[in-house]
Amino acid sequence: MTGPRFTPLVDSLPATVPFVGPETLERGRGRPFRARLGANESLFGPSPKAVAAMQAAVREVWKYGDAQNHELRLALAEAHGVAPDCIMVGEGIDGLLGYLVRLVVGPGDAVVTSEGAYPTFNYHVVGFGGALHKVPYRDDHEDPDALIGKAAELGAKLVYLSNPDNPMGTWLPAGRVQAMIEAVPEGTLMVLDEAYVEFAPDGTAPAIDPEDPRVIRFRTFSKIHGLAGARVGYAIAAAPLIAAFEKVRNHFGMCRISQAGALASLADTAWLAEVKAQVAEGRAMIARIAEAHGLTPLPSATNFVTVDCGADGDFARRVLAELTERDVFVRMPGVAPLDRCIRIAAGPEDQLAVLAEELPKALAAARG
């Protein structure tokens, strides 16, 4: 009796996932975290109006969600000043990245990203047989010149840039990003991940040109909207590329409850402004806590702060392990030299008070 006959590609893949979730860690530890500061979620929660809309939608959850995400696409199109056929809604940026890679990357096709950048993108590329090529960060920023140079050298299908950046929290000005778009080689598509752009200073995002076939932009309701568990993301791109998603996407992948919550949250601009202000306060508090113990917070345009622990990756991993042991969940970049840092999400004062209490103990244990 035989089992499933996996493809050679699947047989070649490692049995790994991009992230180990906090729930997995809690099960292994046998107790919950006191401070959940590692997943870049919005600890300030969703809009009360979004909560009310989702509660009302529960009564109709026996129905599938609208397969075309019609109302949400119309609202997003109006918000961004584009046509609805330039918007695709999907199961978070992660789900949409998977669809995009499936659309354009075949076995052996070159894809360019940064060493240490968002690992879920890499997961999709490798999962569809693409060949990942990476360039290093430069001064804790992604390096547009190096990315474009490598894409041109290899004839890459995709070149990925996140702005603002995860995991470092740094950002490039709009003019620098637009110059990268202008330099995209013929036949390459630029993947511009703007998951954190609502937290960034004015002048970070270049103007949206929905007719430009060289770039696809991704945004999410998981960060400032506080709907990470609802899984709602969207892409903005030229209409022919958006139409191609219809060939591969899960047409009933969106939940009615999530659709209702996202639509209500998009309209609640006062709540979004309040969250942005709270995140700024949280970032400032993290910086004060870090500096009080001799660590260096990096400037951040996201809802987290990347903190330089002042040594190498081994030391930062000890700090992270000691914080985990003390019930504080944080994460860190995965490759040198970025892995000298840990990454801490902005949260309310009670959560960051736990960090302030436990960080000096973790540092002492890591140094000892």
Q: What is the pLDDT of residues 226-251, one digit of tens each?
A: 999 999 999 999 999 999 999 999 99
Tens-place pLDDT, residues 62-84: 999 999 999 999 999 999 999 99
- Residue 338 pLDDT: 98
DSSP 116: T
- Residue 16 pLDDT: 76
Delineate the domains of the chain, giving CATH numbers in brackets.
Answer: 19-45+270-367 (3.90.1150.10), 48-267 (3.40.640.10)
DSSP 173: -
Question: CA 287, CA 113: separation in Å to the nearest integer?
Answer: 29
| Residues of the chain under the 70 pLDDT cut | none
- Per-residue burial over 181-200, b if 16 or more Cβ lie within 10 Å, else e, is bebbbeebbbbbbbbbbbbb
pTM of the model: 0.96
Residue 27 neighbours by CB under 8 Å, 6+ apart = none
- Residue 329 pLDDT: 98
Question: CA 233, CA 193: separation in Å to the nearest integer?
Answer: 11
Question: What's the distance, Cα to Cα, between the start and end of the chain in Å?
Answer: 55
